[in-house]
Structures are given as structure tokens and as C-alpha cells.
A and B are shown apart, each in its own frame.
Chain A
């Protein structure tokens, strides 16, 4: 069974630029999560989708971050404009349902200069 796929794996941008990350969850997983992991910290939840609907986006900085999962499968996370403090690893995870174990992708490492 293929795992959670993410791209790109690495991205370097300058502050105030825009960036987008893509996630393809495990086939059949209804729940999809985006996490931000700052160096030296554990992952923190940004947004949770159930199929194509948002369940929780309370920790998403909505002035600059947006995410969508239009067809209930793939998801994109966008940052516009980026700030220096957005430098982090962005992890996507999926689970068959909200109560079940989450499986993580390899992450996208973002460096904002």
C-alpha cells in the first residue's frame, strides 16, 4: 500500500513570496491533516479535513495560510505571503477516519530567506 505522498520535498523562497505544497493521502483515507513542525519542536496541527470539508482550522493563520481539498482526495496548502517564521517542515497525514491512527508523509521542508 502506498503511503502519504508530498511534494515538493524542499523549497527555498524569499519572504513575501508565495508557496504551495501538495499532499496525496493513502487511498481511501477520509481524514487529512496538515501539520507545521518548527525545528526542535513537535508537529502542530494547522488544519484537519474530513473528506472535502474542514473540521478544524483554528490554528491556521488565515491571513496568510489557506488549504483546500476540493475532491476529498488530494490537498494543497498555500502560504501567501511567506514570513521568515514560516520556515519549518510541513507534514501531511491521513487516517481512515478521525478516530483512527494517523499516517504521515515525508514532509516538505520550507526555508524562507
Chain B
């Protein structure tokens, strides 16, 4: 199974906030990433957080990191239809390699 765990599905109403959660395993992970994958496309880097930070905000995106619980979350404010996609959490392991979760499919309903 995946070392990085995410819930599989999230449905959110347009204009509401989305929160995607992730748990990871390697306490020595240097960076933690969020990637977005739209249908038929590759992975688009959304944001990342360095392990010595608790929070990072980038426009509508807020990343929270709880190192004690090895928990990472991504909040999307004012969710739009264009935010419908699969969101992958990834941790860096062993020489900066990426280990991905299975992805959370976010569906934005009108």
C-alpha cells in the first residue's frame, strides 16, 4: 500500500473552501508537495512546504504542516469549477526522491 495516505474523494460546493488531508511516514522529509492532475494531463506543481515551516499561504492555497502527527493539509479558498482535479500529496524520501499518495479526487459542484 501507499506510505503516503490521502482520502480518495472530496465533493465541495463552488465558492466553499476545500480541505484535502494527507499523512506521511518519513519524519526526515525535507519538503512536502502538493501536485494537481487534471484529466489527461501530467502533474502540475501547486505548492510545497519546507519541513521547518508550519504554514505557507499562496493566493487561494494554504498549506498546514503538523510534523508531530506527520499530517499535511491543503486548503483551497473559494473553490472554483477549474479546481476539479486529482490532488497528490508527496513527501521526499531517501535522497530527495518523491513518494506519492494515491490522490484525492476533488469534484466541485455548482
Contact = CB atoms under 8 A, between A and B. Distances in A.
Interface in A67-112: 91, 93, 98-99, 101-107, 109
A11 to B, nearest CB: 14
Contact of A42 (B41, B42, B95, B102): B102
B100 interface: yes
B102 A106 contact: no
Interface residues of A, number: 23
Given A101-B48, A104-B35, A45 B41 contact: no
Interface of B: 2, 4, 30-31, 33, 35, 40-45, 48, 88, 90, 95-98, 100-103
Interface of A: 4, 6, 40-45, 48, 55-56, 91, 93, 98-99, 101-107, 109
